[in-house]
Amino acid sequence: MTQDNEIRWIPLRNLEPSDRNARKTAAPAEATRELEASLEAHGLLENLVVRAAGDGKTFYVVGGGRRLRALRALAKKRKSRFRATTLIPCRVIADDAIDEEISAAENLVRVNMHPVDQFTAFNKLLERGLSAREIANRFGLTLRTVQRRLRLGDVAPEILAEARENRLTLDLLEAFAATPDRARQLDVWNKMQSHNGYAPTAGRIRTELQQGLVSAASARARFVGLKAYKAAGGTVEEDLFAAEDEASVLIRDVELLSDLASRKLDRARRKLGDGWRWVDMILEAAWDVTRQFGRVKGKPEPPTDADSARLAELTAEIDRLKQAAYALGDDPGKPAERDRLSAEIEKLEAAVKALDREMHSHESYSPELMACSGCIVTIDGQGELVIHKGLVRRQDEHLVPAQPTPGPAANTSAPAPVATVLADGAVGAEADPNPPPVPPEPAAAGAPSDEPERPTPLPSGGQTAASPPGAEYRPPQYDHREPDERAAAIQDAGLRLGLAEDLRLIRTAIVKARLACDPELAADLAAYQLASAVFGGSPYGPLAIEITATRDVPEGIDPDDREAMAHRSPGARMLAAEAADLKLDWLQAPTPRERLFQFRALERSERRRQFAAAISRALRPQLAIDPAAHPETEAVVEALDIPFHELYRPDLEHFWRRMGRREMLAVAAETLGERWAEAHDADRKETLANAMADAFGNGPPPASLKLADDARRRALRWAPPGFEPSHAPDAESGTSDIAPASELPAWMND
């Protein structure tokens, strides 16, 4: 009889697996590799449990079958420390022991090492001088796995202590380990403590930790390139728990990255040369940045011989690589070569696509077109350089040369027509089918002209002054979904698309400012839309109730232009003055809970005022003439009884110069009288625009205008089309509860 618990050293070749082993399910291949590496590096750390077969030679392994299989696999390797004759320490069980019980007990009566202890143990090995690669080899792990465990073991001790006590889940611990910066880890950890027991998600922790960093997959980083960024002294950190691609690498010196990107853009800008009216650089422009501009089309240039040769070279190389990949077939012995070829083909195909796009994007612009348009030098979403050429700002539309019109030769001494844009996008000489008659006597040489400075196409011989090649003009696409019905309504009102867009914002800003002074009406409007969305299934109403402040100035324009428009928009000025007067200190509280407490501590009148201010800023921009205008908004405008003619006066630069002659004369005839309009019918556009600005402006008009008193009063009461509400209040509707101007806050009367 075999003595129980006897330890014997048995040759590996004499050990056989027992069919009574309780573990029947095979371990994953990855776990088997890890075990083999550990046995090779550390030897057998735990004895096998065996039973004698009875022949005095063979022993069946009851406990440790997985280790036996790993030992046998290692014995077949030439460089392994194990051989078939290697003596293996085994504990021999008694004859009366139950094999299944022994096997089950060995697997069940054990406590796995706590993950935190595993992580810190790996860090101790690192401290003893082992590299991450060496640790990976000794434990049969991938380098990435070891790097992750080392990062987890290096998390701030305060956070590790919580994880060791199982008060922090592994996925949250991995989120904290996304950065090696312990100070940032603790900062986010301390913020978590103020959430009253509600732990944030792993995604939220990562977001907090990575604030102020930029992904290497961002357009800006791709544009600069990691190599160039690091060469300039930039540092990165890697989120080891993200996918193994550039998105896991984070740029730490964002200011340096932006500076490098700006320099690279500036080099591209300088290559454009002089002659453009303006050139803007935008690091990462919105996809619709060009919608705010009109565009003149340049003359397409054929591809260069060098580009064509390069394209042919790349195409031939792709064909060669594809043939090489096809020759490999399904050979399982060459996966690395197949992957290399696929990656190379993908890289070359991307280069072909970029080169083809570049070859078909070359356009040349005449000096006349460059003088009325500009460029935006920016980066697209893939990190590629993009140059938008031939962009025309709203205020420069009148500078665009007219397209040539067929017909007999004309008097070349006549001033060249100027292209303007109708609401439906048509282009014509000042959009006027009835231009003023040409005076019988030519102007004296050197006489000053009242027309604005603009590039004029040069005449050739006795022919009509021709537009430069490619002078086709496309108007701004302020809303690519803008229906024809809306454009037609704008045209019928005598406006152009760009001017209507500005007026829509100016008018709505005024309505917002007045609505902010009427909490009761603001509350009614908000309650109406909420009830409509919840009970009526109509979530889309006059308010962006999510809640989002709608814009008061156009998007995608130069910052200086944006500031200038905000200054000349009375509503924007009133809103800014009101915001400065609001008690918003509660926004500085460190947590949302504390912010709510501080907000509720405000006086009721202040809370109501801030409610009205917030509701008013969510109002969607519209003109009363818009076919899809919200009738609820127009009802609000009626209730507010806004004196638009007092708050907004059209000026020369931003209103009258952007109107057509015909439209200005129509306004003049309706407001100032038919006789006044007829007297100015022969005026050039610039002369007429100046006269309209004087007649409708706040300052006293010059006597030369010969403006009657009643005409002047009508002019001062005139507001642009779409400003007044679409329906006047009925007699039964009562008067508005809005306070008279004398009782409004001081900022409303600025």
* pLDDT, tens digit, 9 for 90 and up, residues 26-57: 778 778 888 888 888 878 888 899 988 878 78
- Identify the band that residue 66 occupies on the pLDDT scale cut at 50, 70 and 90: confident
Q: What is the pLDDT of residue 727?
A: 61
Q: What is the pLDDT of residue 245?
A: 60
Q: What is the pLDDT of residue 301?
A: 80
Say if CB 363 and CB 272 are below 8 A apart: no
Lowest mean pLDDT among 67-81, 535-549, 734-748: 734-748
- Identify the band that residue 691 occupies on the pLDDT scale cut at 50, 70 and 90: very high
In a domain, 724, yes or no: no
* Of 286, 224, 266, the residue nearest 249 (C-alpha): 224
Concatenated DSSP letters for 595-643? Answer: HHHHHHTS-HHHHHHHHHHHHHTTBPP--TT-TT--HHHHHHHHHHT--
Q: What is the pLDDT of residue 481?
A: 44
Q: What is the pLDDT of residue 550?
A: 76
Q: What is the pLDDT of residue 477?
A: 59
The top-scoring range by mean pLDDT among 288-297, 363-372, 412-421, 730-739 is 363-372
In a domain, 246, yes or no: no
In terms of pLDDT, which residue wins out, 419 or 640? 640
pLDDT at 533 over 70: no
- Identify the band that residue 435 occupies on the pLDDT scale cut at 50, 70 and 90: very low
- Distance, in Å, from the CA atom of 464 to the CA atom of 193, rounded to the nearest integer, reads 78
In a domain, 364, yes or no: no
CA distances from 151 to 123, 141, 192, 209 (A): 9, 15, 21, 15
In a domain, 612, yes or no: yes
pTM score = 0.45
Average pLDDT, integer, range 321-334 = 78
How does the average pLDDT of the chain come out, rounded? 78
- Identify the band that residue 583 occupies on the pLDDT scale cut at 50, 70 and 90: confident
In a domain, 60, yes or no: yes
Last residue of a domain, one of 617, 637, 657: 637
- Distance, in Å, from the CA atom of 695 to the CA atom of 687, rounded to the nearest integer, reads 12
Pair type for strands 294-296 and 385-392? antiparallel
**Residue 478, token pair as written in the block:** 């302020």
Q: What is the pLDDT of residue 198?
A: 54
Average pLDDT, integer, range 350-376 = 85
Q: What is the pLDDT of residue 555?
A: 67
Q: What is the pLDDT of residue 694?
A: 94
Domain ranges, residue 585: 482-637
- Distance, in Å, from the CA atom of 223 to the CA atom of 386, rounded to the nearest integer, reads 11
* Of 699, 659, 662, the residue nearest 680 (C-alpha): 662
pLDDT at 487 over 60: yes
* Of 611, 626, 620, the residue nearest 508 (C-alpha): 620
Average pLDDT, integer, range 550-566 = 71
Amino acid at 107: N
The top-scoring range by mean pLDDT among 212-221, 333-342, 492-501, 588-597 is 212-221
pLDDT at 711 over 90: yes
- Identify the band that residue 695 occupies on the pLDDT scale cut at 50, 70 and 90: very high
In a domain, 91, yes or no: yes
Q: What is the pLDDT of residue 211?
A: 83
Last residue of a domain, one of 576, 607, 637: 637
Q: What is the pLDDT of residue 408?
A: 45
Q: Residue 31: give its domain's CATH number.
A: 3.90.1530.10
Q: What is the pLDDT of residue 378?
A: 94
Q: What is the pLDDT of residue 542?
A: 67
Last residue of a domain, one of 108, 127, 152: 108
The top-scoring range by mean pLDDT among 473-477, 545-549, 743-747 is 473-477
- Identify the band that residue 643 occupies on the pLDDT scale cut at 50, 70 and 90: very high
Which percentage of the chain shows pLDDT scores above 90?
22
Average pLDDT, integer, range 590-597 = 76
Count how many domains the chain has. 2
- Identify the band that residue 543 occupies on the pLDDT scale cut at 50, 70 and 90: low
Say if CB 509 and CB 648 are below 8 A apart: no
In a domain, 430, yes or no: no
* pLDDT, tens digit, 9 for 90 and up, residues 129-178: 888 888 888 777 778 888 888 888 889 999 988 888 888 888 888 889 88
pLDDT at 280 over 90: yes
Average pLDDT, integer, range 680-691 = 91
In a domain, 15, yes or no: yes
- Identify the band that residue 23 occupies on the pLDDT scale cut at 50, 70 and 90: confident
In terms of pLDDT, which residue wins out, 477 or 95? 95
Q: What is the pLDDT of residue 744?
A: 47
Peptide bond into 615 cis (omega under 30): no
